[in-house]
Amino acid sequence: MKIVTTHECPPVPARNFDWRAGIEGREEDGADCFGETEAEAVIAFTQEHLTEEAVAGLVWLLKRELDFVLADVSSEHERRWTKHSIERAIRTVEGIV
């Protein structure tokens, strides 16, 4: 399953429907979720459609990615920034379920 996003900007004053997230190839099945930002749309979709096991798998993957990325980063500033960014993503994903 691949989650795809689109930036639609409908002609309404509210901005909370600008981004759409759904499953690739199934855009017309009505299971899409929306958000003011791309990240909010993906989080809304994930909250509605992913199982607890899938979220746990995503957290595991992010933690593994953190180890690989930190091994390749040379400057201390970049290491701190990268670690902070990925750990923030992990906290966001953990908060989904």
Full-model pTM: 0.51
Residues 62 and 90 in one domain: yes
Res. 89: pLDDT tops 70: yes
How many folded domains does the chain comprise? 2
pLDDT confidence bin for 97, thresholds 50/70/90: low
CA–CA distance, 58 with 9 (Å, rounded to integer): 29
Which single residue is written with the structure tokens 């429907």?
17
For residue 25, the enclosing domain spans 3-49
Q: Is 35 helix (H, G, I), strand (E, B) or coil?
A: strand
Summarised one tens digit per residue, pLDDT across range 8-58 is: 877 878 777 888 888 887 767 778 888 888 888 888 888 887 777 777 777
Question: Which value, in Å, is the radius of gyration of the alpha carbons in the chain?
Answer: 16
pLDDT confidence bin for 62, thresholds 50/70/90: confident
| Neighbouring C-alpha atoms within 13 Å toward the C-beta of 81 | 6
Residues 35 and 67 in one domain: no
Residues 36 and 64 in one domain: no
